[in-house]
Amino acid sequence: FSDEPTIPKPALRALPDPGRPPIEADVAKGGTVRRMNLNESPIQPSPKAIAAMQDACARVNRYPDPQWRALTGAISDATGIPQHRIVMGNGSDEAIVSAGRLAVSPGDEVVVPMPSFPSYNNAAALNGGTLVPVPLKADGSNDVDALVAACTSRTRLVFAASPNNPTGNILTSEEVARLAVGVPDTALLVLDEAYYEFGIHAGGEDHLRVMESRNGPWAVFRTFSKAYGLAGIRVGYILAGSDEIANAFQKVRSVFNVNAVAQAGALAAWHDTAHRDMLLEKTRIERERLVAGLRELGAEPFPTVANFVTAKMDRPAAGIVSALLERGVMIGRLMHPGYGNYIRVTVGSPDDTDAFLAALKEVL
Ligand code: PMP
């Protein structure tokens, strides 16, 4: 059949490597490894959420509500953001990807704190944007004045995070106000609050009203993955600063982006505030034990309010991470230039804290 025309290969865009975590590492040691690397909750979700998800399973012959009305109604009541300006996502990660798709064209600049959550890089790179990294302040918080100063007429997207991942610090409302006023109106300002509830639990300020003072486009991202212990069902949400921004996020998502089981689970979890508060308090207690234990071993942890601790070690983190993995404890390390000696540990159960600190003592 040599005279048959050859079918041309589809032209695929050359896309950058998203740098996803190696999945196979998670199942190392026959699944007995302690997962202290992904900022997951060691605590199971609300029993009411589990019951609601089981119940929803019986009806999955039907498509989910494409406008997630029960969820956005509940979130609207609590935040004061009108329901039509709340856009749900398949995790807040979908929101980050969407922000890139709706705001960034080739040649545009995306201003991000450095180090911060790696998905921000993809929001730039996947859309041909140029990443403009802005170093954190010495205490690990976002340097809002430097973020503003890094903006040019080509900046279309600015990410800030409070609490910041990987350092865990929060911004003050005064700092968020400087950001809200200082970032040019030609850029979409995103405040990533994936760890929002931990910040509030630690006595931090709520930044939503301050973001509302911004004239230009803005959005706040939050998630059910952390404080609600629901990372596995992938539900996050966008509080959009205007109808226009909400509509833009609506356009770039897929129609049924949050499945019916996830919508039911998130809604039940949302209403079980006692369970959420228990999770936040247990996390606080273990976080403080982790920080104290790390200090005792000579590490220098950043001040953190979140469910993870990043600490500077006296040697390269890569060796520490692999030695801990051999002992059944999986933690993370910072891949950013200049941060080779930094480890990031997720706050786990009391047992996880003990096992991690014991293993670290052996390794150092
Ligand atoms: N933002 C930050 C700062 C994060 O750390 C994470 C998850 N680690 C996310 C967003 C994404 O979370 P999810 O997609 O599970 O909502």
User: 10 CA distance to ligand 1 centroid (A)?
Assistant: 33
Decide if pLDDT at 27 tops 80.
no
| pLDDT at residue 4, rounded to an integer | 65
- Spatial distance between the Cα atoms of 119 and 131, rounded to a whole number of angstroms: 12
Tell which atom from ligand 1 comes closest to the C-alpha of 165.
3
- Spatial distance between the Cα atoms of 164 and 196, rounded to a whole number of angstroms: 10
| pLDDT tens digits for range 97-132 | 999 999 999 999 999 999 999 999 999 999 999 999
Model confidence at 11, pLDDT cuts 50, 70, 90, reads: confident
Q: CA angle, corner 112, sides to 144 and 185, nearest 5? A: 65
| pLDDT at residue 5, rounded to an integer | 64
CB 269 within 8 A of CB 224: yes
- Give the residues surrounding ligand 1 with Cβ less than 6 Å away: 39, 91-93, 117, 161, 165, 192, 194, 223, 225, 231, 236
| pLDDT at residue 31, rounded to an integer | 61
Decide if pLDDT at 308 tops 90.
yes
Tell which atom from ligand 1 comes closest to the C-alpha of 235.
16
Mean pLDDT calculated for residue range 303-323: 97
The percentage of the chain sitting over the pLDDT mark of 70, rounded to a whole number, equals: 95
| pLDDT tens digits for range 130-154 | 999 999 999 999 999 999 999 999 9
> Best mutation site among 97, 112, 162, 165 for ligand 1, i.e. most ligand atoms within 8 A of its Cβ?
165
- pTM here is 0.95
| pLDDT at residue 285, rounded to an integer | 98
Model confidence at 26, pLDDT cuts 50, 70, 90, reads: low
ipTM above 0.95, yes or no: yes
